[in-house]
């Protein structure tokens, strides 16, 4: 049995992987995020290593306004951007899992208190996006 990460905001859905990914993108957009990257991890690992893996996509989400404000405060913050949101099929249950990085936990490694308000705002927005999924 897989463990549940303590550094993510997570939900499990009964909808299929295929219908969930676009719903996640739309939920993120509704909360002010753009999706900058979409990585099909299973396809990439198959091409690079010849290994099989269940359906798993990483979406790189970014709110431009908050990213700009945060980068103005902490120039090196780009090392931790964008916010990753994963969508994968639980092979044991057939459910689809959606999990977003917890920006408050992630930014705890940055020694800059000025970023706390932005991290809390992004966490709330990601939580709202996940809540939109059902």
For residue range 55-105, what is the model confidence (pLDDT) as tens digits? Answer: 999 999 999 999 999 999 999 999 999 999 999 999 999 999 999 999 999
How far apart CA 57 and CA 74 sit, in angstroms, is 29
How far apart CA 52 and CA 49 sit, in angstroms, is 9
Which residues, 6 or more positions from 2, have their beta carbon under 8 angstroms from its beta carbon? 90
Q: What is the pTM of this model?
A: 0.94
User: Please, what's the b/e burial string for 20-35 (b: 16 or more CB within 10 A of its CB; e: otherwise)?
Assistant: bbebbbebbeebbbeb
Could you tell me where the beta strands, DSSP code E, fall in the chain? 8-13, 34-40, 56-62, 83-89, 96-101
* Total Cβ atoms within 10 A of residue 59: 22
Q: Tokens in use for 104?
A: 């408050």
Q: For the chain, which residues make up each domain, given as ranges?
A: 8-131
What is the CATH architecture assignment of 8-131? 2-Layer Sandwich (3.30)
Q: Tokens in use for 83?
A: 């916010």
| 3-class secondary-structure state, position 110 | coil
For residue range 109-120, what is the model confidence (pLDDT) as tens digits? Answer: 998 999 999 999
């Amino acid at each position: 049995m897989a463990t549940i990460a303590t550094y993510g905001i997570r939900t499990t859905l009964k909808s299929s992987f295929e219908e969930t990914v676009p719903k996640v993108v739309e939920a993120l957009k509704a909360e002010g995020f753009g999706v900058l990257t979409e990585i099909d991890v299973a396809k990439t690992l198959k091409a690079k290593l010849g290994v099989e893996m269940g359906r798993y996509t990483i979406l790189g989400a970014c709110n431009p306004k908050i990213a700009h404000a945060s980068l103005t405060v902490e120039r090196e913050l780009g090392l931790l951007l964008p916010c990753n949101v994963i969508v994968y099929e639980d092979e044991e249950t057939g459910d689809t899992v959606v999990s977003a990085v917890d920006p408050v936990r992630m930014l705890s490694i940055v020694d800059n208190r000025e970023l706390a308000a932005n991290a809390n705002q992004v966490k709330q927005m990601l939580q709202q996006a996940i809540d939109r999924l059902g």
